Amino acid sequence: MLAWDTSPLAKSHLRGCAFFWPGDTLDNWKQLSPSVPHHLDFGVAFGLTDIGTVRESNQDNFFIAPDLGLVMVADGMGGHNGGEIASADALNLVYNFVRAAHNAPATPPGSETTVPMFRATPFDPALADPDATWSDAAMKAMITLHDAVEYANNRMYQTNLANDRADGSGMGTTLTGLWQLPPDGPMFIFHVGDSRLYRFRQGRMEQLTRDQTLYQQALDAGAQALLPPRNLLLQALGPAPELVPELQSQVMMPGDVYLLCSDGLYGESAPGSIETILASATADNLDACCAALVEMAKRDGSRDNITALLVKCTG
């Protein structure tokens, strides 16, 4: 697992910051993937997003790409519809980058590649594979994911820069996703911010991502009092010219259930309540389980947008 930047890029979710992008309206939010079962090579995915009980707009979004085995959740920030644009932009940018890299024809050694290349900061994929066990295809996939996240961040930062919002007050978003390529290969996890990825396996739920927040940083340092607010992010796509995504690989197993979610889902709910719902998930009831997760968050007092995306591994 790669470490992330803990320099003073700590930005709140900025939901009180009021500004508009040229030509935008408050009703331009669109759910990027429909809330229907999506059949992937390794299982079934279903996503549900809800505005919640307090917010005036939904700045969450999710993306399921069965053609790539790619699923993602993003939680935007930026005031008014800036967050709506940020989450959708990040998801679309990462998907288009990964698709272009995946579909690029193979090139002979030494010839010019047609795979999109983007590298804002140095990246050594060997750090994520210290035992040198990955195949060439797996290594290429990890590099592609890293570059896709950096590319999306750069494009969004340039938009903030063009709108005189390069001081951290512009739009931004979290991003958490998983990708399996090739089939039967490792599952790659990529993560920026405080959305989460959980895995339920053999009766036990485990959080696979780590919140990139000042609050989590304080807990890791052993602080027990005077903790910072939970929503102060160390990293997000968009506000800063550079970031370091958390990247890791995991082995998928038949029967696994994966939950990708925004902080509006887990923020006020007990882990045990989430685990109980995941324990009941099957390939045929993911819609009901997502609805139960959303209702759980509302019942427990969530004041944020709520997104739940479930993946049930069947093969």
C-alpha distances (whole Å) from 220 to each of 3, 12, 210, 215, 223 are: 13, 19, 11, 9, 7
Task: Please give the Cα distance from 206 to 286 (Å, whole number).
Answer: 19
**3-class DSSP assignment, residue 164:** coil
Return the pLDDT at 166: 78
Of 161 and 105, the structure prediction assigns the larger pLDDT to 161
172 pairs with which residues across the strands?
77
DSSP string, 134-155: --HHHHHHHHHHHHHHHHHHHH
In the chain, the percentage of residues whose pLDDT exceeds 90 is 69
Does position 310 have pLDDT exceeding 50, yes or no? yes
Task: Please give the Cα distance from 57 to 27 (Å, whole number).
Answer: 8
* CA-CA-CA-CA dihedral for 121, 5, 59, 220, to nearest 10: 160
Return the pLDDT at 134: 59
Query: How would residue 11 be classed by pLDDT, with cut points 50, 70 and 90?
Result: very low
Return the pLDDT at 20: 32
Does position 308 have pLDDT exceeding 50, yes or no? yes
C-alpha distances (whole Å) from 224 to each of 26, 115, 140, 259, 282 are: 41, 48, 42, 29, 39
The mean pLDDT of the chain is: 85
Domain residue extents for the chain:
38-106+115-313
Return the pLDDT at 102: 84
Tell me the per-residue pLDDT of 101-128, one tens digit each, with 9 for 90 and over: 988 765 544 444 444 445 555 556 655 5
Please tell me the number of Cα atoms within 13 Å of 314 on its side-chain side.
Answer: 15
57 pairs with which residues across the strands?
none
Return the pLDDT at 75: 97
Tell me the per-residue pLDDT of 231-242, one tens digit each, with 9 for 90 and over: 899 999 999 999
pTM for the complete prediction?
0.86
Task: Please give the Cα distance from 167 to 90 (Å, whole number).
Answer: 19
Query: How would residue 176 be classed by pLDDT, with cut points 50, 70 and 90?
Result: very high
In the chain, the percentage of residues whose pLDDT exceeds 70 is 79
Q: Residues of 214-230 as b/e, b for ≥16 C-beta within 10 angstroms?
A: bbbbbeeeeeeeeeeee
C-alpha distances (whole Å) from 222 to each of 110, 136, 227 are: 50, 40, 10
Return the pLDDT at 181: 77
Tell me the per-residue pLDDT of 225-284, one tens digit each, with 9 for 90 and over: 889 999 899 999 999 999 999 999 999 999 999 999 999 999 999 999 999 999 999 999
Return the pLDDT at 14: 38
Classified by CATH at the fold level, domain 38-106+115-313 comes out as: Phosphatase 2c; domain 1 (3.60.40)
